Structure 1
């Protein structure tokens, strides 16, 4: 029974499990998750509660999670955006009581201690981070949005959460040359499926995190000889790329170690030696 559930998307262990899974898994104790929010710019989620455990994914400021356990500096959580389960540092959490109003639409933006770009920044936020805006200010002709604690961000770098990008491929293009990071899901470092997920999230499309999940669930499958167009997805075993047009792809890859635009046929030839030919193509 337990084996039928994907542990990446369901919180269960032999000793502890999400109470919503009480009829599906066996566990010594079942608990109800407590809603909390990510307070830091980027937080690594790991498969085990250890700082040397590999990064499985990342969470951005303003993302909400359910917390099932807090112990020895780590919290066992499930992200509400995509259901991903893992361990994060518990100091990265805060209350989820404040209503978030805006999200970052620039690839990266600074947080200043006040509305003045000459002040040293106190943090940097990634595309997709969510904040609560309490006011606005202008200094020397530059418009700022004010956070509740008095910090400020450039007004042009955010927009209301309800406002979404028209073309998710354009969002991906804004991240060209972002460094490749295994498990990365931010504009500071990102992997192939993280690029797809973050870009689609900014366009109002919620998709799962890992490439195998995306290959099984996003949109509709295309015929092997079908003509590709902008926004289509090409999947390999363990990899995914976004079509920029009928011949070129955008993808975060370990060959160039960044988000790169390249001809599809060149990527197929290079990747084929390691992972074989593309396994499926899908249209969101």
Structure 2
């Protein structure tokens, strides 16, 4: 029997492949890859080394990857978080380091020093990982400082491993009105399945990246059983139930993360696409 491997989750090309796939795929050469981390606030991952290609997903500052190839300014990588494979600019890769804290608010500014009146040097998304080396206080505001002297608001971060929220729906609600972005996975722009993945990640749970992969998690239920936290799937789409009647989802209709009445949403989507394919409980 021939097994077709998903190129999104397995690193293989005719000339090069992950050593872990030896015996499963044919390639001229197999490598184990080298460790690296994302060194920019958000790095777009593409299916080919071409800036004109659409975004498959995004990786956040401090997330780690294995790098299988570096060529012509591009890195071919696999994310440690969810095993997603793709290409990103080599300049977006940094040396490995052990993060100490994770950003827990939708977005936060990184200042050049512990002073909120200074122009920020960057903006970080929820889920970004940083290595904190010190603390400071200015006019009663507490900051966490990085090795280069830049600073984040202390209340916007928690130590790695600390539970940031009990209810992943509470996390998802923070993204209401965030712009919809195909392949987006940050507080600057997000798609339907990333809303599920990132919200769950902030409660310490790991799920696959794309909606077709997520359609296998949890257990199937009937529509009449829906309650807060359940997932509703369509072909190529997923939403989170905020309560038994309200759907929370990043969608191309409003081009935002929005709350919608589930029954009305089902009818609207059915007119153009299809009716739900599954209802699942985590």
Q: Output the TM-score relative to the length of structure 2.
A: 0.98
Name 2:234's counterpart in structure 1: 236
Query: Does the 8 A contact of 2:223 with 2:279 survive in 1?
Result: no
User: What is the Cα deviation at residue 148 of structure 1?
Assistant: 1.4
The yes-or-no answer on 1:245 pairing with 2:247 is no
Name 2:134's counterpart in structure 1: 135
User: What is the Cα deviation at residue 225 of structure 1?
Assistant: 4.3
**Equivalent runs, 1:94-243 vs 2, <5 Å:** 94-96=94-96, 98-164=97-163, 165-216=165-216, 218-222=217-221, 224-243=222-241
The yes-or-no answer on 1:4 pairing with 2:4 is yes
Query: Does the 8 A contact of 1:215 with 1:280 survive in 2?
Result: yes
Name 1:255's counterpart in structure 2: 253
Count of aligned pairs: 281
Give distance in 2, aligned partners of 1:10 and 1:103. Answer: 27
Give distance in 2, aligned partners of 1:71 and 1:138. Answer: 44
SS at match of 2:225: coil
Query: Does the 8 A contact of 1:134 with 1:148 survive in 2?
Result: yes
Summarize deviations over 1:195-241 as a string: whole Å, max 9, x none: 0010010011101000000002x21111x344111110000000000
Give distance in 2, aligned partners of 1:253 and 1:102. Answer: 31
Give 5+ residue unaligned stretches, structure 1. none
Summarize deviations over 1:118-161 as a string: whole Å, max 9, x none: 00000000001001111100001111000111100000100112
Query: Does the 8 A contact of 1:192 with 1:239 survive in 2?
Result: yes
Name 1:39's counterpart in structure 2: 39
Summarize deviations over 1:41-66 as a string: whole Å, max 9, x none: 00000001001010000000010000
Summarize deviations over 1:221-267 as a string: whole Å, max 9, x none: 11x34411111000000000000001001100000000001111111
Give 5+ residue unaligned stretches, structure 2. none
Query: Does the 8 A contact of 2:100 with 2:160 survive in 1?
Result: yes
Give distance in 2, aligned partners of 1:12 and 1:38. Answer: 21
Check 1:2–1:123 CA distance in 2 against 1; reply closer, same or farther (3 A cut): farther
Check 1:246–1:126 CA distance in 2 against 1; reply closer, same or farther (3 A cut): same
Give distance in 2, aligned partners of 1:23 and 1:268. Answer: 45
User: What is the Cα deviation at residue 3 of structure 1?
Assistant: 4.8
Check 1:2–1:180 CA distance in 2 against 1; reply closer, same or farther (3 A cut): farther
User: What is the Cα deviation at residue 2 of structure 1?
Assistant: 7.2
Query: Does the 8 A contact of 1:2 with 1:24 survive in 2?
Result: no
SS at match of 2:56: strand
Give distance in 2, aligned partners of 1:2 and 1:162. Answer: 40
Check 1:52–1:225 CA distance in 2 against 1; reply closer, same or farther (3 A cut): closer
Give distance in 1, aligned partners of 2:122 and 2:15. Answer: 38
Superposed CA RMSD in Å reads: 1.0
Check 1:90–1:185 CA distance in 2 against 1; reply closer, same or farther (3 A cut): same
Give distance in 2, aligned partners of 1:115 and 1:203. Answer: 29
The yes-or-no answer on 1:265 pairing with 2:263 is yes
Q: Output the TM-score relative to the length of structure 1.
A: 0.97
Check 1:101–1:2 CA distance in 2 against 1; reply closer, same or farther (3 A cut): farther
Give distance in 2, aligned partners of 1:103 and 1:272. Answer: 39
